[in-house]
Structure formats: C-alpha cells, structure tokens
C-alpha cells in the first residue's frame, strides 16, 4: 500500500489547511475529559483526605472494595447510556448541539463532585453526569471528525481523538503526582484539586463547542445549502464554484438520497430513520461491520493493558526503583509519545491494518515475557530477589515500556478510527453510538472480570491476554481492511463480495489495481460504478 498519503482524487493543496486541522483539534479536545478521568480518579478516591471526608475509612474492607468498584462502574454505565442517547441527539439536533449538551452535562457533574464535602451521594451523582457527558463525546467525536475530514488526512484528524485522550491521561497522572509530593494527603485539597481540574478541559471544550462548524451534510439535509457551501468554503479554503467543492457537495446530496431511501416507507423523523436503519441490517455487509466494531472494542479492552497497569508498580518496587509513581508516569509518557507520533505522522502513511497486526504481535511477546517473569521471580511477594531475578526485573521494566510504546499505535486507538470510517454516511450517527456503546460495554466487562481472573490465574492472566493479542492478529488479518485514503462512499464496495472474509486480498479489489474510483464528475451526483448491482456482483472482475 506504500508509505505516502493516498488521495481518493486530485486534491488541491489548499484543502490541507490550518482551519481543518484547528477544527479537528478543537473537536477532539473532548477526549481530554475522559483521558484525565482515567488517570486521576483511582488514586484520588483512595487518599486519606477523601476517605475521611466521605466516611469511607469507617467502612469494612468489603464495603471499601464495593464502593471503589461502584464509583468506577457507575461512570462506565453512564458512559454506555450517554453513547446510546447520542444517536437521537445527533439526528435531531446535529453534531455541534450534541457536543454542547455533552459539555454542559460533564461540567455540571464536575462542579457537583468538586463542591461535595461529606456527601458521598454527590460524588456518585457527579460520576454519573460526567459519565453521560463522556459517553456522548465518544459516540459523536470520532464520526464527526471523519465526516469533516478530507479522505487523505482522515486518519490524522480522527487520530487526534486518541492523542487528546493520551494528553488528558498524562495531565491526570502528573496532577496526582504533584499533589502526592506537595500537599498534605489528609487535607481536603488533596482530592478537591484533582476533582476541580476536570473543569479545565471541560470548560475549554464547552467554549470550543460554541465555535464549531456544523456538519455540511446536516445543513443540506435541512435545506440550508448556502450555509453548507460557506462552511465547505471555510474548511477547504476554496471558492464555492471550485470543482472540489462541487464534487463534495455532490457526494453530500448522494448521501442524503441514501438516507431518504433508508427511511422510505417507515415514516418520517427519528423513528422512521431508526426503523430504516434496522431494515439496513438485513444487508450482510452492514451486519458484518457492526459485528466487527464490537469485536474491535472487546479486543482493545482485553489486550493486556489493564494487567500492565496493575502489575507494573510491584515490578518497579521489587527491582529497587524507589519512586514507583514516577516510573508509572514514564510508562504513560511512552504510551502518549508513541500515540502522538503515530497518529500525526504515521496513520495516513502506514495505514491501519499492518500497524495493528504488528502492535498486537509485539504486545503479545511482551506479555509472555512478563507472565514468565512473574511466575519465576515472584516480584510482588518475594522479600529478597536474587541477582538474576533483579536483572530479569530490569528486562521486565524494559518490556513494560516497550508494551506501552507498541500498544500506542495499535489497539490503543485504531478501533476508534476504523469504526468511524467503515460505515456509509447514512448509518454514521447510529454507528458512532454503536462504537461508543461497544467500548464502554467492553470496558465494563474487562474491569469486572479482571479481579476475578487475577485471583484464579495470577501470572496466567498475562498468558491469557497474550492469547487475545494473537487472536487480534488473526482477526485483523482476516477481517480488517486498510481504509487509508479510501472514500467513505466506497466502503460499501470494500466490505461487499468475496473479500469480506479475506481482506488480505484488498490490493486486488481497490485502486490502483482493482475497483475504479467513484465518479464525481457531475454535481449533485455521486454514484459508485456498481450501483444497482447485487452484493455478489461487486467483485466479479477481481476474482482471485
């Protein structure tokens, strides 16, 4: 597939401008909210100041464990339902209003948590509200970014979502690190400051939402074509009568025609469209993509990162690293640094498919070594380690850092990008909500299953997750195509026909070696070369 950016059609250089990148950064900024949450909450709710203020220190051991699990699961469950509610919001109000609502809900929740003094119920209420806001963000942002992006840089702009998450994660960690080393952990400041910092990304995102440009497709759909053209002119920095703008406008009209066909016969409004989407599920290639998204999200959450997060402090401590928290932060830097480099520079050069297989394979090897080391060296329980075990621990530390680096360009973010690209635009909002639901359902399953797995399997969890990484390589090789540079309008063609279960043959079913590009010559018309043919006829010329 090569290492350069692949264009779907001749693209004027002006299209790759600062405006589209700035808009992408502002939209992706929402991921800072739950990136920060993932890093700060676990440490904050165990601090002496927090447990004393909310009566947790007076609970029994089982009550403390239950309370901690409930604080985590309430957030995750709210994220799931936020993703569910995102779909009708996107369809009824639009992408920008949906994000504005999510920002408002998130900030209200953050304010409630920060203001709480002794009422644990307020903490739970705040967690639920912030979770609802985050759930909406995860359902809307990746699809919104993919929708506004020119195909050749769609990976970069959608990847900003993952970059923002990693930056939020780093900020959350280092805020906690600073609090731990500079503030009395028995004071209210030790938990109130991390809680209040949520308002910084939440507030900035809320301000940014006021200046977002709405989806041109939605505006055309509502009869506001002039406004849509102005937004396209602004985003692409081209005049409205330019061929590129006219082609894009033609694609938008074609998408709206598809949506009308979807909802045709089922009534008008959200209900009709939803029933029409259910009818679309009768098409096997559509069902196939929905199943793939759920599979990607579960493989992402069971890739072993949760095990690394649990075991790495004991490994660091056992080999004599005095500042365990610092080394945990360094691990986070490896993850964030790898993500930033890959999603800015590599995603639209190396693609999605090969990096994911390489990442999963290397992660599996790291996990096998770490599981073996835990079994042989017992770093968490041994009082005195032999010299060879210490050297093995140094190697284990290196493998932890390598895991963070290679995971950063694989399952860490690619499921979000692929899921945002592979659906036709007529199903985009529903697919975004489905991906968000899949992510939070898989996250909930992983966090609930891991403690039980740890009790029964101990070091064996590393081997189990290594097996999941091997399954990821197989899954990606068989079913995940490389979508870099491919117009979203061509995804139906890509996922239909015999290549659906043999995506390693993709180079023979897409330009320059296979299916010709879409015909964008006529304004307001954008049909595939195979329109009207049955799914089985799509690749009749490309039999292998």
SS (H, E, C) 342-405: HHHHHHHHHCCHHHHHHHHHHHHHHHHHHHHHHHHHCCCCCCCCCHHHHHHHHHHHHHHHHHHH
Indicate whether 472 pLDDT > 90. yes
Q: What are the structure tokens assigned to 250, written together?
A: 């033609």
Average pLDDT of the residues in 282-311:
85
- Asked if the model's pLDDT at residue 543 lies above 60, the reply is no
**When comparing pLDDT for 415 and 533, which is higher?**
415
Task: State yes or no: pLDDT of 383 exceeds 70.
Answer: no
pTM of the model: 0.77
pLDDT at 522: 37
The residues near 176 (Cβ < 8 Å, ≥ 6 apart) are 39, 40, 43, 44, 194
> Reduced to 3 states, what is the DSSP secondary structure of residue 519?
strand
CATH class of 11-212: mainly alpha
| Assigned CATH for 283-510 | 1.20.1250.20
pLDDT tens digits for range 173-202: 888 888 988 999 999 999 999 999 999 999
Residue 425 and residue 255 in contact, taking contact as beta carbons nearer than 8 Å: yes
* CA 293 distance to own-chain centroid: 11
**What is the maximum span of the chain, computed from C-alpha positions, in angstroms?**
76
pLDDT band at 348 (very low <50, low <70, confident <90, very high): confident
CA torsion, points 149, 155, 157, 163, in degrees to nearest 10?
160
Give the residue from 465, 540, 12 showing the smallest Cα distance to 233. Answer: 12
The predicted-structure confidence for 493-512, as pLDDT tens digits, reads as follows: 778 766 677 777 766 655 55
Structure tokens at 500: 């659906």
Rounded to whole angstroms, the Cα distance separating 491 from 254 reads 14
In 3-state terms, what secondary structure has residue 118?
coil
DSSP letters, 38-103, are: HHHHHHHTTSHHHHHHTTGGGS-HHHHHHHHHHHHHHHHHHHHHHHHHHHHHHHHT-HHHHHHHHH
pLDDT value at residue 533: 37
Residue ranges, comma separated, of all CATH 1.20.1250.20 domains in the chain are 11-212, 283-510
Q: C-alpha distances in angstroms, 275 versus 98, 261, 280, 472? A: 22, 12, 9, 33
Six token digits for residue 44: 């904050």
């Amino acid at each position: 597939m090569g290492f350069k950016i692949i264009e779907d059609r001749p693209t004027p250089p002006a299209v790759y401008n600062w405006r589209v990148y700035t808009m992408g950064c502002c939209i992706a900024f929402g991921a800072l909210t739950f990136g920060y949450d993932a890093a700060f909450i676990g440490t904050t709710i165990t601090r002496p100041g927090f447990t004393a203020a909310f009566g947790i220190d007076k609970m029994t051991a089982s009550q403390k464990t239950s309370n901690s699990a409930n604080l985590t699961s309430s957030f995750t469950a709210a994220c799931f339902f936020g993703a569910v509610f995102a779909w009708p919001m996107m369809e009824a109000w639009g992408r920008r209003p949906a994000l504005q609502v999510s920002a408002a809900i998130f900030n209200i929740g953050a304010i409630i948590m920060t203001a709480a003094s002794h009422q644990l119920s307020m903490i739970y209420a705040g967690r639920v509200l912030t979770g609802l806001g985050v759930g909406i963000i995860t359902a809307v942002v990746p699809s919104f970014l993919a929708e506004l992006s020119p195909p050749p840089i769609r990976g970069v702009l959608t990847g900003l979502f993952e970059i923002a998450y990693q930056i939020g994660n780093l900020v959350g960690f280092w805020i906690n690190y600073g609090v731990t080393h500079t503030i009395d952990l028995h004071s209210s400041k030790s938990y109130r400051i991390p809680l209040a910092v949520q308002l910084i990304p939440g507030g900035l995102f809320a301000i940014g939402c006021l200046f977002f440009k709405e989806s041109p497709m939605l505006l055309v759909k509502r009869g506001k074509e002039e406004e849509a053209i102005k937004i396209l002119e602004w985003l692409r920095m081209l005049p409205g009568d330019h061929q590129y703008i006219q082609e894009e406008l033609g694609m938008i009209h074609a998408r709206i025609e598809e949506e009308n066909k979807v909802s045709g016969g089922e009534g008008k409004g959200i209900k009709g469209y939803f029933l029409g989407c259910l009818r679309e599920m009768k098409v096997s290639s559509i069902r196939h993509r929905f199943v793939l998204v759920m599979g990607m999200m579960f493989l992402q959450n069971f890739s072993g990162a949760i095990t690394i997060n649990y075991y790495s402090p004991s490994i660091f401590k056992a080999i004599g690293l005095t500042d365990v928290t610092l080394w945990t932060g360094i691990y986070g830097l490896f993850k964030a640094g790898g993500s930033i480099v890959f999603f800015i520079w590599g995603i639209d050069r190396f693609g999605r498919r090969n990096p994911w297989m390489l990442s999963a394979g290397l992660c599996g090897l790291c996990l096998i070594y770490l599981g073996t080391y835990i079994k042989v060296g017992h770093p968490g329980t041994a009082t005195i380690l032999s010299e060879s075990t210490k050297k093995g621990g140094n190697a284990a530390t290196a493998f932890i850092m390598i895991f963070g680096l290679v995971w950063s360009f694989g399952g860490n973010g690619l499921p979000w990008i692929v899921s945002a690209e592979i659906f036709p635009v007529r199903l985009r909002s529903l697919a975004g909500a489905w991906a968000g639901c899949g992510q939070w359902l898989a996250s909930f399953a992983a966090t609930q299953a891991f403690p039980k797995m740890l009790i029964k399997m101990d070091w064996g969890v590393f081997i189990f997750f290594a097996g999941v990484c091997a399954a990821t390589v197989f899954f990606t090789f068989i079913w995940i195509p490389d979508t870099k540079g491919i117009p979203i309008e061509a995804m139906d063609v890509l996922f239909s026909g015999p290549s659906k279960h043999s995506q390693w043959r993709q180079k023979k079913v897409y330009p320059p070696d296979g299916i010709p590009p879409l015909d964008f010559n006529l304004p307001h018309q954008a049909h595939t070369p195979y329109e009207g043919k049955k799914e089985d006829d799509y690749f009749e010329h490309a039999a292998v």
